[in-house]
Amino acid sequence: MKKYLNIFLLCWLVGGYCQGQDAARIDSLTNEYNRTNSDSLKLELLFYIINEYHYENVDTSILLAERARDFAVKLQDTLYQAFADEMLAGYHNVQSNYKEALKYDLEALRLYKQMNIGAGIAMTLNSIGEDYFDLDLFSDAYDYYQQSLKKAQEVNDKLSVAIATYNIGRVLKSMGQLEKAREYIENSMKMSRVIDDLEGLAYSGHDIGEILILEGHYDKALEELKEALELGEKLEVIILIPQIMGKIALAHEHLNNFEEAMEYYERALERFQELNSKSGITETYLGMGKTRMKMGEHTQAAALFDLSLKMAKERENNELIIQAYHEISKLHEKLGEYAQSLKYYKMYKALEDSVFSERQKEQFAQIQIKYEMANKDMEIALLNQKEEQRKVQLQNEEFFRNILVVILAFTGVLLITLYRSSVRRKKINNLLVAHQKEMEEQSRELAGLLEMKDKFFSIVSHDLRSPINALGGILDMLDEGSLTQEELRQLTRSLKTRLDNTRKLLDNLLDWALVQMNEITIQEETMDLNHLVDDNLSFFREVNDKHIHFLNEVEEKTMVLADKNMLDLIIRNLIANSIKFTGEGGFVEVSVEERNNDWLIVEIRDNGMGMSEEQKAQLFNTTTLYTTKGTANEKGTGLGLKLCKEFVERMGGEIWVESTEGEGSSFKFTVKKEPVF
């Protein structure tokens, strides 16, 4: 019956009737296929070519159908993919590859359901039933045929209705319910006559003939089968013709017309071989063997039985293996070889029992599944009933629920309003607390700055008054004329030193004021660090009266990128600080080392008095002015190191001190290297 469905499919697809293989037409279609570059046109041409080969060359048809399916998948053409799957299923069924056929049919069913094509669904459900029928799973076959019939009736597909009705009769026939089977098949024949389905009449005639054989009406069977054969040959239903011939041979065998039986078996064998139908060939060899055995040609019968057994085992067809064992056992019994007969009979019974057991298990599993499905259906029905009751209850409670919703909504709005009000109050309180803390912090900072200002003005007034008073005293002594030339030189040198310190103080004050007002800008330029250090050391050599040794360890052409005035102030203040805390005859050394590719570390090192950890912690504090006396009781303002820190950080660097009390100090800061392009 699979053939019947595929003919319908192909005729629908190509718009005409399937005909025999035409070599000229195949060549023409193949040339056109090779010339075109359009995948969609190639796909259509493949179906035309397959239609030409069809069942006359099944292997080639399978290869072409697989190629067509690949094109359909590539083009995302779901309909053509379903067609190709159905064709592949049909061809594999002809070659007795029933499991492979089932795989393609199930995929075709999925695609037809996806496209919601009712006729395709009905046809494919029927094909799946055919696969299960050929696998001897009659319960599953019956279920799918019934589904196919129901779907075909839904979409009013009369042809599919006739096919499904016929196939249900076939299943009932295989299950031994001959009367019921005859009823379904005869109904199918009536439908086929109404819709002028001649091929359906040929199939139904074949099965009616088989039922008559099973009932022992061999002459009537021959009449029905010969009429079906004539119609099948007229329509060229090549898959059905050898099956009818096999049944005609069987009827002649029962009537002891052995020559006629062998003639029809040989004709059937030739047709099955053309179709490459393994199961058909095996069954025919078995029939021929039984006929030869009845004719007394035991050697030929044995060869035919052995051949059929071998092929059945290759196909793992247990039904045919069982039949072969049984016939071989009967042959050995006829020959008086009872031991061999018993051996094959035991094999026949063992396999028959095994198959029966497997079928029982399968049927039990099917029953179990259906039972579970029925239970689930009942559960679903109960759940639906409970759901209806729940809906009624919900409708009765709807009024109260609506009132409750309104009350809850009002309460929710009220609570949200209160919550937002509370959050707003907390936020305001937090802002007030934060503002209060900020004001307290600012007050502390202001108090510290005022304290620093008072101290700063005290230092400034003292340091400015000292050189002025000294200048006034010298002028008074000059006015009196009481100074010798040597005393005047000494006083002038002392006054120069004090004025120079005062000038430095004023420079630091000016820079500090600019920093506080954020009016100082960085003017970066490239300079030689060695020259800058050398200029500062030369100045301190002239004004130094502690006999300190100054060492410039910075190599020439050490180029840096910085603001010259800022860098000069930093170096000058750090050298002055080292001088302040270095004793008589000590040394101050300036050196440099690489930090990385972009930065240098400048170090001003002395062997002075050093400092404690507590002093180091106060050194760069920006909120207080910290100062101590030097080794010669020199005083300071505390501004110098603060300006150094400010200027170093503004140029992107960092400054720190390393010191051990009694061993000297080392001030270090980073400065950018000249960029290399």
pLDDT at 493: 66
How many angstroms separate the first and last alpha carbons of the chain?
87
Q: Looking at per-residue confidence, does 17 or 44 come out higher? A: 44
pLDDT at 410: 80
Average pLDDT of the residues in 113-135: 88
- Residues 477-482, mean pLDDT to the nearest whole number: 67
293-306 confidence digits (pLDDT tens): 999 999 998 999 89
What sign results for the dihedral spanned by CA atoms 365, 370, 375, 380?
Answer: positive
- Exposure on the CB side of residue 582, measured as CA atoms within 13 A: 26
Q: Which two tokens stand for residue 42?
A: 């190639």
Strands 549-552 and 587-594: parallel
Residue 297 is predicted with a pLDDT of 92
Q: Cα 80–86–89 angle (5° rounding)?
A: 140
**pLDDT for the residue numbered 10:** 44
Average pLDDT over residues 181-198: 90
Position 530 confidence tier, pLDDT thresholds 50, 70, 90:
very high
pLDDT reported for residue 434: 82
Question: Is residue 484 scored above 60 in pLDDT?
Answer: yes
Domains annotated for the chain, with CATH where assigned, are 521-673 (3.30.565.10)
Show Cβ contacts of residue 19 under 8 Å, excluding neighbours closer than 6 positions.
Answer: 52, 236
Confidence of residue 250 (pLDDT cuts 50, 70, 90): very high
Please say if the pLDDT value at position 9 is more than 60: no
With a cut of 60, say whether residue 461 has pLDDT above it: no
pLDDT at 361 over 70: no
Q: What pLDDT does residue 364 have?
A: 53
pTM, whole model, 2 decimals? 0.48
The two tokens of residue 561 are 């990128």
Q: What is the pLDDT of residue 55?
A: 67
Kindly state the percentage of the chain with pLDDT values over 70: 79
- pLDDT reported for residue 92: 86
Among residues 17, 16, 34, the alpha carbon closest in space to that of 26 is found at: 34
Least confident of 349-358, 403-412, 524-533: 349-358
Alpha helices per DSSP H over 546-600: 564-580
Lowest mean pLDDT among 205-219, 467-481, 661-675: 467-481
The model's pLDDT over 49-89, given as tens digits with 9 standing for 90+, comes to 887 776 677 788 888 888 888 888 888 888 888 988 988 88
**Residue 26 to residue 80: CA distance in whole angstroms:** 21
Q: Compute the distance between CA of residue 240 and CA of residue 204 in angstroms, rounded to an integer.
A: 11
Would the pLDDT of 261 be above 80? yes
Q: Is the pLDDT of residue 7 over 90?
A: no
pLDDT of 18 > 50? The answer is: no
Q: What pLDDT shows up at residue 426? A: 83
**Residue 674 clears pLDDT 60, i.e. is over it:** yes
Task: Give the burial string for 272-291 (b: 16+ CB within 10 Å, else e).
Answer: beebbbbbbbbbbbbbbbbb
Average pLDDT over the chain reads: 81
pLDDT at 563 over 60: yes
pLDDT at 16 over 50: no
Q: What does each C-alpha distance from 482 to 393, 474, 486, 487 come to in angstroms? A: 126, 10, 12, 10
Identify the band that residue 666 occupies on the pLDDT scale cut at 50, 70 and 90.
very high
Q: What is the pLDDT of residue 502?
A: 67
Pair 600, 673: CB distance under 8 Å: yes
Q: Which range is least confidently modeled, 96-100, 211-215, 552-556, 563-567?
A: 96-100
For residue 529, the model assigns a pLDDT of: 92
Among 210, 208, 203, 205, smallest CA distance to 254 is for 210
Q: What is the pLDDT of residue 255?
A: 93
Higher pLDDT, 185 or 516: 185
Angle at 291 between CA 287 and CA 296, to 5 degrees: 145
Q: Which tens digits make up the pLDDT trace of 585-612?
A: 899 999 999 988 889 999 999 998 888 8
Instruction: Give yes or no for residue 27 having a pLDDT over 60.
Output: yes
**pLDDT the model gives residue 15:** 40
Residues 615-654 have pLDDT tens digits of 887 777 665 555 666 565 565 566 778 878 888 998 899 9
Contacts of 643 (CB under 8 A, 6+ apart): 508, 511, 512, 515, 569, 570, 573
Query: Is 194's pLDDT higher than 70?
Result: yes
Give the closest residue to 315 by CA, choosing from 99, 619, 70, 538: 99
